[in-house]
């Protein structure tokens, strides 16, 4: 297994003594939102295309695809509840990739109203920060199962 320098530093200085770390993902908890800025779920369509193109359905957890569409099982929020290995998430709640590709992807913003906001939050219109905050809230809600699971232990 290859471990990045960032993982080595993080696990050395921030993990409890004696903690075993198998993998540390510090991005990539992409969420399935209710809607993007156009009112559509473009990310769900995109993930569906990935699952189809690469034939990923057979490699997704059976516990997920037995109850949900394989395209949904590509989103961590639908499979994290079935993972028994301890998990430590490192992902920004204001994830620039997700803001650019899930909340306000180019296809959802044909007139470019979000273009300058996505480049610099200081360029956002008066209502765009509220939409970004709503996206953050949706992101945190996808983790509620995880937080409840931790309290049980």
Per-residue pLDDT of the chain (153 residues; tens, 9 = 90+): 444 545 555 556 566 666 666 666 666 888 998 889 999 999 999 999 999 999 999 999 999 999 999 999 989 889 888 877 777 777 888 888 899 999 999 999 999 999 999 999 999 999 999 999 999 999 888 887 666 655 444
Residues 92, 96, 101, 104, CA torsion sign? positive
Question: Is residue 112 packed enough to be buried (19+ CB in 10 Å), middle (13-18) or exposed (0-12)?
Answer: exposed
Instruction: Give 16's DSSP letter.
Output: P
3-state secondary structure at position 78? helix
Name the 3-class secondary structure at 80.
Answer: helix
Give the pTM: 0.75
């Amino acid at each position: 297994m290859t471990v990045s320098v960032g993982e080595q530093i993080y696990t050395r200085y921030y993990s409890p003594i004696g903690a075993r770390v198998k993998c540390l993902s510090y991005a990539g908890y992409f969420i399935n939102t209710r809607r993007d800025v156009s009112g559509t779920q473009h990310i769900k369509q995109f993930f569906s295309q990935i699952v189809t193109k690469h034939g990923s359905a057979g490699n997704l957890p059976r516990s997920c695809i037995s109850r949900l569409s394989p395209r949904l099982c590509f989103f961590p929020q639908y499979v994290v509840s079935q993972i028994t290995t301890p998990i430590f998430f490192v992902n920004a709640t204001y994830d620039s990739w997700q803001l650019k590709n899930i909340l306000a992807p180019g296809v959802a913003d044909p007139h470019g109203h979000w273009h300058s906001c996505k480049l610099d939050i200081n360029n956002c219109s008066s209502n765009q920060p509220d939409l970004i905050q709503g996206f953050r809230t949706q992101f945190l809600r996808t983790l509620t199962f995880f937080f409840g699971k931790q309290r049980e232990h």
